[in-house]
Structure 1
Amino acid sequence: MAPYHIRKYQDQDREAVIDMFSKGILRHIPSGFFYQLKQPRSFLFLLGGPGALFLASGSLLLSLLALPGLLAILWLLVRYPFNNYLDHALRTDMRDIKKSYLSDRGSCFWVAESEGKVVGTVCGCPVQPAPGGQKRLELLHLSVRQDYRGLGIAQSLTQTLLQFAKDQGYGIVILNVLIFNRPAQRVYEKMGFWKTHKAYESLKWRMAAIPFFYYEYTVPL
């Protein structure tokens, strides 16, 4: 295993970080598409559409030709929230990473570096206190390069953020993860996060019928 170390983000990391972040988001699209294919409403859409066309036209060939078009519509529907999320992030917090995460003591952005290359990222920022006044930190943008996965880098990055949360006096760390992203869920659960609920992050994700699992971690005193 190539050695790696974790450090705070620096300006020279930007190109590698944005490239890895963008590829990491877009890599989920095929998984989202296959997840969607397994859902009852997609099954009805893909079978019901050609079936209705056959009943209306009496042409089996025409109804079969409609299926690729319906698959393309489903692909575009799934792809939309991922592209929208990526575009929004690149225009907001990821546009100026230092300003977003390193200008305040309560937030931070780390990279994992191996052989001079940025191979992983994670960041955290404060959110509104939970009932009872506990300070909460949100874990965001955990990503590891495809060719460096399975080496424990995601766990190390997560542990770095959890230690930061403890040092800064946070009581709870929160995050959300795509419902079909089992590798990420295993990492979080291994680190002590527990699942609180399932929900859609926004209307765009609801339209694509892709929910998220929400997790919390109680920071030890």
Structure 2
Amino acid sequence: MAPYTIRKYQDQDREVVMDMFIKGLLTHVPSAFFHLLKQPRSILLLLSVPGALFLGSGSLLLSLLALPGLLVFLWMAVRYPFNWYVDHALHTDMKDIRKSYLSDKGSCFWVAESEGQVVGTVCVCPVQQASRRQKCLELFHLSVSPEYRGQGIAQTLTQTVLQFAQDQGYDVVLVNALCFNYPAQRVYEKMGFWKSHEAFDSLKWRVIAIPFFYYEYSVPSSL
């Protein structure tokens, strides 16, 4: 296991960080696709459309040819919210990482570095929720390069966030994870987060039947 260190983001990290962010997010697409295929609505679609074509035309070939088209349609439907999220991030917080996360002491962006190479990222920024008076910090973009996973880097990055939250006087750290992102869920739960609820982040995710698990961490007082 190669040694690694955690440090704040620097401008020369941008190209590697952006590549890791985009590839890390899009690697979830196949899992999301298979998750969608197991949903009753997808099974019904894959059975009913070819069946209707066969009954209407009497052509078995036509009904069989419909299956690849339906699978491509479902694949594109799954990719859409991931592509949208990437595009949205590239035009908002990830457009200028320093301005978004390093211009205010209440937010930060860290990278994990091993042998001079950036191999992991995480960032945080304050959030306000009308339903609570607590001072909340939200964790974003936790990612580790595939070849460096299983070495505890994600846990160390998360621990860095929790220590930052305590030092800055936050009460709660919030984070969410895709329902099938079990490695991230294990990290959060191991670090003391608890699942507060499950919900669809938006209509885009509801359409493809992928909810998010929302987690909270109660920051111990530094006093």
Same fold judged by TM-score > 0.5?
yes
CA distance in 2, matches of 1:132, 1:17: 33
Q: What is the percentage of aligned positions where both structures have the same residue?
A: 75
Give the aligned residue type for 1:140: F
CA distance in 1, matches of 2:213, 2:96: 28
Kindly indicate whether residue 76 of structure 2 is the aligned counterpart of residue 76 of structure 1. yes
Query: 2:44 matched to which residue of 1?
Result: 44
Query: 1:215 matched to which residue of 2?
Result: 215
Query: 1:111 matched to which residue of 2?
Result: 111
CA distance in 2, matches of 1:132, 1:107: 20
CA distance in 2, matches of 1:93, 1:132: 24
CA distance in 2, matches of 1:42, 1:88: 27
Q: CA deviation at 1:208?
A: 1.8
Query: 1:201 matched to which residue of 2?
Result: 201
Query: 1:188 matched to which residue of 2?
Result: 188
Deviations along 1:137-178, whole A, 9 cap, x unmatched?
000000000100000000000000000000001000001100
Q: CA deviation at 1:129?
A: 4.5
CA distance in 1, matches of 2:198, 2:132: 23
CA spacing shift, 1:132–1:35, aligned 2, 3 Å: closer
CA distance in 2, matches of 1:64, 1:199: 36
Q: The residue matched to 2:163 in structure 1 has which SS?
A: helix
Q: CA deviation at 1:48?
A: 1.0
1:1-221 matches, cutoff 5 A: 1-129=1-129, 131-221=131-221
Q: Matched residue pairs, number? A: 221
Give the aligned residue type for 2:5: H
Q: The residue matched to 2:162 in structure 1 has which SS?
A: helix
CA distance in 2, matches of 1:81, 1:175: 19
Deviations along 1:84-137, whole A, 9 cap, x unmatched?
000100111001000000000100000000000000000000000464521000
TM-score by length of 2: 0.97
Give the aligned residue type for 2:192: G
Give the aligned residue type for 2:68: P
Q: The residue matched to 1:169 in structure 2 has which SS?
A: coil
Give the aligned residue type for 1:24: G
Gaps of 5+ in 2: none
**Farther off after superposition, 196-205 or 96-105:** 196-205
Whether the 8 Å contact between 1:171 and 1:218 is mirrored in structure 2 is yes
CA distance in 2, matches of 1:84, 1:43: 25
Q: Which stretches of structure 1, 4 residues or longer, exceed 3 Å deviation after superposition? A: 129-132
TM-score by length of 1: 0.98
CA distance in 2, matches of 1:129, 1:164: 20
RMSD of aligned C-alpha atoms? 0.9
Gaps of 5+ in 1: none
CA distance in 1, matches of 2:36, 2:73: 12
Whether the 8 Å contact between 1:130 and 1:136 is mirrored in structure 2 is no
